[in-house]
A and B are shown apart, each in its own frame.
Chain A
Amino acid sequence: MTTLARPFALPRPSSRLAVIVPTAADLPWLAGYAVAFWVAHYVAAEWGGRGFYSLLYPAAGLRMALLWRRGPRLVLGVAATEVAVQFVTGIIDPLSAGFATQLGGVVRPALAYALVVLLVRRMTDHATTSLSVAPMPLGLASVGAPVAAAMAALPWSLWRPDLTGVSGMREVIASLTGFIVGDLLGVLLLTPPLLWLAELASGSASRPARPNIAGVIEAVLVLLFSFASEVLLASIGLGTPHTPLLLAVAWIGLRFGRTASWLAIVAVAAMTLPQTAMPMRVDARLALHMSLASIMVVGYLAGSFADAQARTRSDLQRRDRLLFQAERLKTLRAMSVAVIHEISQPLSTLAIEAKHLHEITVSADVEIASTAALIDRKAAALSTLVRRLRRFGGRTVDKPTPLPLATLIATAAALAEPEARSHDVTLTIEPVAPDLVVLAQEVELAQAIVNLVRNAVQASGDGRVSLAATQVGDQARIVVTNRCRRNRPDQAGMGVGVLVARAIVEAHGGSLARVGDDIGEARATILLPLIGEPQ
């Protein structure tokens, strides 16, 4: 006998290598990336120059967005795409003496980015601190990846200064700082909007809410005030410390979240970057780059942190509401048990007397006989329903037992039928093969199915819901299907039903998936491990 809490095993790919080879689904992404990367690289070449790889490197933002969206397993695809683009544009040349160095320089950042994304993903899977609440992980990866890429380049630059054209520790550090700032700017400016667009396209993101006027005014005032103080300090010959800007961006991030801090960073970058494009001393440019990097990192992390907090807060509120709902359900349950008890007593009398009446009026007048038969039938049906309801509402501590799938479906259907009928919905039950058996706590699993059917009934557009159970390999598949109503009204429910159903199904070692397709059909699918014949 298998244990009930056996975790549902996901099919694992056969080898590690197979994971990182891009699939057919990745190809459009990689093709798009190739074009975008080429454009971004070409644009950045305008201000890239000797001594600093680039100042704003938008290609880094594209790379991060792709790796974050499609996962670090795409590392091979990304590296190959970049090599191909650089090869086509002639930046690397297989015939030149420095081919290996060129190739390394192109592949290295892609590897470093993927590694950082992988590490951050791993960490957030296991951490339970605020760092694991979205969008903090993306913030960490956005800051970590450029630094990692620069660090990976450091030994190379020191070993073969002749090839990079940069010599001396001072020059190398300055150039790498430029590299970090360029990548950081590219990532922080491009990745968030790109990811947001991708989510919007796939329908998982919401359009931004209308900003409130007071907030916008506050943010603009703070930013203007910080600029004004910088200009003032510079004009009276006290240099250009960027502390006011740093504080302003941090303030905006903490107060208004990631989108606001992103806009502030764009504004700061637009004001500051043109300065560094002018010829200036290496140490002055380094100081400016460092300040700019600090401002961006602080602003971005502050915004991410604020968003994460907001998300946690709303999660808490939602849980509070669920808890409240659960309390109400508990009371309701106690009430219904009492009602069932009160009903069952007189119903016993009624059913017995009705049956007697039916029996003694069989040969009486047709009118009387048919009325008595009807009363008897209804009383008997009501008795069965009450007995079934009581079993359903009772607190069960029974161990899971082998249960024929057909029985389970019949129980669930009988419980859900009255509600379907009251909504004018036809509930179609597909015949179930009698030899399919699952290990189950009948009451709980029936509740899971009833919850799904109830949802389907409420969402049904054409008054039809179907319930089917079939065998797929060594699993039982239970599917509840309905057509979605267009512009369906808001439901009174809170989605607790599906949560409960999922928890029950997972406790039975199964899984629950809900999908809607283009033609407006919604399907909830339960997969449960099948066992042999009932003992």
Chain B
Amino acid sequence: MTVSDALSGTVYVVDDDDDLGATVARLLCRHGHVAESFLDPVALLDLYPQAPAHCVVTDVMMGDIDGFDFADRVRALDAAVAIVFMTAWPTTANAVDSVRRYGGLDYLEKPLDEARLLAAVAEGVAWSRAQRTAIARTATLTPRQRQVFDLLVKGHNNQAIAAALDISPKTVEDHRAAIVAKTGANGIAQLIALAR
């Protein structure tokens, strides 16, 4: 995997101005992303489960469904997607909300600052990739292994885990070996990083 691959990913652009959406999508394509623009956020929500993205760039003020509402719904479908907001009506309150409440990565003011948009999307894609990798590596754990993993990353030792789950310390050791094998983690610190 090359560095440029790590920084480029699938991006959806949502704006009720078709021209602007298409322009931003083309700009992102030129910078190595696979970008597509959507006029209607609802259409994107219908399509999203089949084709998840790394990053969604969305307008805040749209017709029926506003950018924040849309962000909540995308996030419900995919916890590992980065969201970048853009708006022609910037307010301090919205800027704070977009980051703190809606988990946005940035809040861009129109006319767009191109460098800042590209930086935000690149950061979003990188974050999303890291999230997805972590999720993928822990996805194959069995339910029991998952329980052991959750306790391990909280800092419990084998004895404590054995007592908590009412199994023998030996069994815990076996589960631990399986977890390390499946996630490819090298030591407890990397396991904790995966759990974040």
Contacts and interface: CB of A to CB of B under 8 A. Distances in A.
A151 interface: no
Contacts of A398: 92
Contacts of B24: 348, 352
A341 B60 CA distance: 13
Contacts of B114: 351-352, 355
Contacts of B17: 345-346, 349
A344 B23 contact: no
B97 to A, nearest CB: 15
Interface of B: 17, 19-20, 23-24, 26-27, 30, 88-92, 109-114
A256 B54 CA distance: 83
B111 A356 contact: no
A313 B92 CA distance: 43
Given A341-B89, A345-B17, A390-B90, A353 B111 contact: no
B70 to A, nearest CB: 18
A387 B110 CA distance: 7
Given A345-B110, A351-B111, A387-B109, A356 B88 contact: no
Interface residues of A, number: 20
A115 interface: no
Which of A346, A349, A355, A383 has most chain B Cβ within 10 Å? A349
A348 B90 contact: no
A355 B31 CA distance: 13
Contacts of A345: 17, 20, 88, 110
Interface of A: 341, 344-349, 351-353, 355-356, 382-383, 386-387, 390, 394, 397-398
A390 B17 CA distance: 20
A382 B30 CA distance: 24
A356 B27 contact: yes
Nearest to B20: A349
A397 B92 CA distance: 9
A301 to B, nearest CB: 57
A382 B111 CA distance: 9
A348 B111 contact: yes
A348 B19 CA distance: 10
Contacts of A382: 111
Contact of A356 (B19, B30, B112): B30
24 contacts: A344-B111, A345-B17, A345-B20, A345-B88, A347-B111, A348-B24, A348-B110, A348-B111, A349-B20, A349-B23, A351-B111, A351-B114, A352-B112, A352-B114, A355-B114, A356-B26, A383-B113, A387-B111, A390-B90, A390-B109, A394-B90, A394-B91, A397-B92, A398-B92
B119 to A, nearest CB: 15
Given A349-B20, A352-B23, A341 B111 contact: no
Interface of A, helix, strand, loop or mixed by DSSP: helix
A9 to B, nearest CB: 33
Contact of A346 (B19, B92, B109): B19
B11 to A, nearest CB: 15
A403 to B, nearest CB: 17
A351 B20 CA distance: 10
A341 B30 CA distance: 27
A352 to B, nearest CB: 5
Contacts of A390: 90, 109
Contacts of B26: 356
A353 B113 CA distance: 13
Which of A344, A348, A356, A386 has most chain B Cβ within 10 Å? A348
A348 B90 CA distance: 14
A397 B96 CA distance: 14
Contacts of B91: 394
Q: Which 4 A-B pairs have the closest CB atoms?
A: A383-B111, A344-B110, A347-B111, A348-B111
Contacts of A353: 23
B52 to A, nearest CB: 26
Contact of B27 (A346, A347, A352): A352
Contacts of A387: 109, 111
B41 to A, nearest CB: 17
A1 to B, nearest CB: 20
A78 to B, nearest CB: 60
A341 B88 contact: yes
Given A386-B111, A390-B90, A348 B20 contact: yes
Contacts of B27: 352, 356
B14 to A, nearest CB: 14
Given A382-B111, A383-B113, A397-B92, 11 more contacts: A341-B89, A344-B111, A345-B17, A348-B24, A351-B114, A352-B112, A353-B23, A356-B26, A356-B27, A387-B111, A394-B91
A465 to B, nearest CB: 29
A352 B113 CA distance: 9
Given A346-B19, A356-B27, A351 B112 contact: yes
Contacts of B90: 390, 394
A347 B113 CA distance: 11
